[in-house]
Amino acid sequence: MEQVRKPFFNPLAKSKCQIQEILQGLPVGSAHLFSPERLLLCWTANGITEIDIPLHPEDYFFNAVDLGELGETLLRRMAGFQSHLGVFEDFQIMQAPAPTFKIPIVSGQITIFAVSEKMHTYYDFCFADVLCNTCCFNATDTFEGISHSGDINHGRDFLAHVRLDQEALTEEKICDFISGYQYTRITRFLGTNPALLVADHVDKILYIIPVPLDAATIGDARAQTRADPSDSAHNASASTSSEGFTQTIRFGTGIEFQLLDEGPAAKPTSAVILPCIFGAQLQGPILLATGTIPLNVQFVDEFALRSYYRQLKSAVVIVDERMTDNARNLATAYRINALFILQLNPQYPPTNTEEVLQLLNAANINAVTGLAGPQSLLLIQVGDRYYFYRGIANQAHLNTCRLEFGADVTSILESAGVESMLDPRIERIVTLGETNSILLPSSGQRVQVQDLEKPFKDLSMELLNHLEDDISASVKTEKSRYSVPVFGSTTAS
């Protein structure tokens, strides 16, 4: 496992030969599981190496980070360093948006910092170049444009940060990492919730980059590389319908198209749900070593698969709460506009409206955040009841613009049918970051997301009153584009 630097998972790769071809186009240290033989294929300087992993249970690869607990811990620790971190009081704290992302550099401001607590000892927050020149607590100005704070302690809590100077910043590739003080194995810091935070001072966002300390990810390492600061079992299913034909697609550790003569789906055998339904290649944590080959999928590549999705007349995606934060963060730029049904199984069913709202506010919607398009509809299923969470429905059956969060929509769903709950005119597949249009339900007008205000800008108040549903739909669509969970917020809309 020490040869593995970054796991990849192509949900449509069926054979060992296909996986080998994929790896040969990736950097040395890239790995991909071939699930039928439980082999992790790793691309090395000497070719493809096969790593036998049958002795490792599935939870060895989870590398899951509870961002709810982590967020609360970070806020508590940050409060102890008010003189250093007070500037971030009005910043949102959220999970990094992708495995690789950029932020604008604001010279003189703290750009990256680490907070943790003493566990036997502290770890060091360091930077290095390819020649192993390092910047750390006792060598704070090794690289041009990077100024290290040194170690800052408050009780048992630890802080270290760097400020960047845009004009002086070195053009070298620099990585940051943590290193156990006096050769301490960093697995000994497991349980301290260490994390790096990257500051976007323009949008006022702190991005959390959890530091995995499990043995599956880092082995016996004394140092853990994390980022480059020079760069600013079937757990879920989708039912799709086209020309009167309904296709059930299961996904979890892989994609499976259920055959027409198959009986009801078996109970889940895996606790992993990967955002793999679009067929795009995933990369990141060792969690991807749980990926399995596709079953009954006849599409030659991801583009053909998404073309199939685009022509569907309806789509229903059924998920639960088991997609972890790390799995959600693997999601690609593709999203599907569909009816999402999130199934909850509380120990005690809610008996009144207050209990329903508490249950919905506490729900883990990672699977929805990682897969749902901006004109999706999310309903929460508890037993045989369905409750409105957020989104836009087919107004012929359900006007969500006037619907309260947590409203019981069971009777409407049963009378209209799940296949009729979305407006058939909406686009099925959208790509985040590209020019996408949305449908205004009342007028039927299609408007690009960045131009949402134009249809309403010059209208009189009387006309605006008649377009209340379109305005509400625009607001809901805009909110859904920023549906990454934010710590401290429990309000759904």
Structural domain for 293, as ranges:
236-431
Query: At which of 203, 227, 251 does a domain end?
Result: 227
What's the confidence (pLDDT) of residue 176?
A: 79
Is the domain of 379 the same as that of 266? Answer: yes
Is the domain of 197 the same as that of 116? Answer: yes
Residue 407 contacts residue 388 (beta carbons within 8 Å): yes
CATH number of residue 31's parent domain: 3.40.1620
What's the confidence (pLDDT) of residue 45?
A: 86
Would the pLDDT of 461 be above 70? no
CATH number of residue 81's parent domain: 2.60.60
Cα separation of 118 and 125, whole Å? Answer: 13
HEC sequence for the chain = CCCCCEEEECCCCCCHHHHHHHHHCCCCCEEEEEHHHCEEEEEECCEEEEEECCCCCHHHHCCCCCHHHHHHHHHHHHHCCHHHHHHHCCCEEEECCCCCCCCCCCCCCEEEEEEEECECECEEEEEECCCCCEEECCECCCCCCEEECCCEEECCEEEEEEEECCCCCCCCCCEEEEEEHHHCCHHHHCCCCCEEEEEECCCCEEEEEECCCCHHHHCCCCEEEEECCCCCCCCEEEEEEECCEEEEEEECCCEEECCCCCCCCCCCCCCCCCCCCCCCCEECCHHHHHCCCCECCCCCCHHHHHHHHHCCCEEEEEECCCCCHHHHCCCCCEEECCEEEEEECCCCCCCCHHHHHHHHHCCCCHHHHHHECCCCEEEEEECCEEEEEEECCCCCCCCHHHCCCCCECHHHHHHHCHHHCCCCCCCCEEECCCCCEEECCCCCCEEEHHHCCHHHCCCCHHHHHHCHHHHHHHHHHHHHCCCCCECCCCCCC
Query: At which of 170, 200, 227 does a domain end?
Result: 227
Residue 20 belongs to a domain: yes
Is the domain of 214 the same as that of 248? Answer: no
Which residue did the predictor score with more confidence, 124 or 112?
112
Would the pLDDT of 225 be above 90? no
Q: How many domains does the chain have?
A: 3
Is the domain of 243 the same as that of 326? Answer: yes
What's the confidence (pLDDT) of residue 138?
A: 81
Is the domain of 222 the same as that of 258? Answer: no
Residue 70 contacts residue 115 (beta carbons within 8 Å): no
Span 406-456, pLDDT tens digits: 999 999 999 988 888 888 888 889 888 776 667 666 666 666 655 555 655
Is the domain of 39 the same as that of 17? Answer: yes
The rounded percent of the chain whose pLDDT value lies above 70 is 67
What's the confidence (pLDDT) of residue 486?
A: 28
What is the rounded average pLDDT for all residues in the chain?
A: 76
Residue 427 contacts residue 336 (beta carbons within 8 Å): no
Residue 442 belongs to a domain: no
What's the confidence (pLDDT) of residue 110?
A: 93
Residue 416 belongs to a domain: yes
Is the domain of 120 the same as that of 163? Answer: yes
Least confident span in 97-111, 170-184, 284-298? 170-184
Which residue did the predictor score with more confidence, 43 or 454?
43
Is the domain of 199 the same as that of 306? Answer: no
**φ, ψ for residue 370 (rounded to 5)?**
-80, -10
Would the pLDDT of 285 be above 60? yes
Residue 332 belongs to a domain: yes
Least confident span in 209-213, 315-319, 332-336, 430-434? 209-213
Is the domain of 245 the same as that of 383? Answer: yes
Is the domain of 277 the same as that of 379? Answer: yes
Which residue did the predictor score with more confidence, 421 or 55?
421
Residue 423 belongs to a domain: yes
| HSE-up of residue 30 (Cα within 13 Å, Cβ side) | 17
Would the pLDDT of 462 be above 60? no
The single-letter code of the amino acid at 483 is S
Is the domain of 255 the same as that of 208? Answer: no
Taking residues 74-87, report their average pLDDT. 85
Residue 437 belongs to a domain: no
Going by pLDDT thresholds of 50, 70 and 90, the confidence category of residue 240 is low
Would the pLDDT of 230 be above 50? no
Taking residues 27-53, report their average pLDDT. 85
Query: At which of 227, 245, 274 does a domain end?
Result: 227
Span 334-362, pLDDT tens digits: 999 989 999 898 989 999 999 999 999 98
Would the pLDDT of 177 be above 70? yes
Which residue did the predictor score with more confidence, 116 or 455?
116
Least confident span in 63-72, 290-299, 362-371, 476-485? 476-485
Residue 447 belongs to a domain: no
Would the pLDDT of 113 be above 70? yes
Taking residues 104-115, report their average pLDDT. 90
Would the pLDDT of 170 be above 70? yes
Going by pLDDT thresholds of 50, 70 and 90, the confidence category of residue 216 is very low
Would the pLDDT of 10 be above 60? yes
Is the domain of 265 the same as that of 411? Answer: yes
Q: Are strands 429-431 and 282-283 parallel, antiparallel or unpaired?
A: unpaired
Taking residues 123-139, report their average pLDDT. 85
Least confident span in 114-123, 338-347, 479-488? 479-488
Going by pLDDT thresholds of 50, 70 and 90, the confidence category of residue 226 is very low
Residue 482 belongs to a domain: no
Which string of b and e fits 79-92 if b means at least 16 CB within 10 Å? ebbeebbeebeebb
Would the pLDDT of 482 be above 50? no
